[in-house]
């Protein structure tokens, strides 16, 4: 069973930052996690963190700050007051597909509660960007920024949240469990 809460204590921010860095390789300053609108964690019954994410609707929007001047002409950048930015997502490998789905659905619920019209997300790894492009179908910027050789920043409009929820359910509660069962069947000795 997962328990969830929004963190507010320094020790929890530090632990969240460590887990995020371990999962992503991104060493994000602790001040960033303290500044964003929501840092939500998911814990097991013993209180150990198993996953979490951040959401931010306060200025500045970090992804927009990272975009070079040539990319700031995208119309969604001018709508920064109506944006919720996702980030800091990490989930421990031991978490089952079912609970991964819960974590992602909860993030969509928090996004919907924000009443912002645009959802922004980004990825520093092309493989992650390819996966995110399914959930966030519109590209704001792709290319180098000052701290890394590659980032891809995406957005989706608010009305896309139900579609995102269906994609999460499809992947984590239907496709991935089916693949796991098929692999188990393939590994069984033939009679």
- Write out the H or E segment, with its range, that includes residue 113: helix 97-113
Per-residue pLDDT of the chain (191 residues; tens, 9 = 90+): 899 999 999 999 999 999 999 998 889 999 999 999 999 999 999 999 999 999 999 999 998 988 888 878 888 999 999 999 999 999 999 999 999 999 999 999 999 999 999 999 999 888 888 888 888 999 999 999 888 899 999 999 999 999 999 999 999 999 999 999 999 888 888 77
Q: How far apart are CA 188 and CA 191, in angstroms?
A: 9
Domains of the chain: 3-187 (3.40.630.30)
Give the number of other Cβ atoms within 10 Å of residue 21's Cβ. Answer: 13
Residue 49's beta-bridge partner residues? 43
List the structure tokens of 129: 């960007």
Show the beta-strand stretches assigned E in the chain. 3-6, 38-43, 49-56, 83-91, 118-123, 138-145, 148-157
């Amino acid at each position: 069973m997962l328990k969830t809460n929004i963190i507010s204590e320094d020790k929890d921010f530090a632990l969240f930052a460590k887990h995020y860095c371990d999962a992503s390789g991104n060493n994000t300053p602790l001040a960033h996690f303290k500044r964003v609108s929501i840092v939500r964690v998911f814990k097991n019954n013993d209180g150990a963190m198993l996953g979490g994410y951040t959401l931010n609707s306060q200025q500045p929007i970090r992804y927009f700050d990272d975009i070079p001047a040539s990319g700031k002409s995208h119309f969604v950048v001018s709508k920064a007051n109506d944006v919720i930015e996702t980030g800091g997502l990490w989930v421990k490998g031991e978490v089952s597909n079912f609970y991964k789905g819960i974590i992602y659905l909860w993030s969509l619920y928090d996004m919907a509660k924000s009443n912002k019209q645009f959802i922004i997300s980004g990825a520093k790894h092309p493989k992650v960007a390819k996966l995110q492009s399914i959930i966030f179908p519109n590209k704001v910027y792709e290319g180098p920024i000052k701290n890394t050789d590659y980032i891809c920043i995406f957005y989706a409009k608010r009305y896309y949240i139900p579609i995102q929820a269906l994609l999460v359910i499809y992947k984590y509660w239907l496709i991935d469990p089916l693949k796991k069962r098929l692999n188990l069947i393939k590994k069984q000795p033939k009679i």
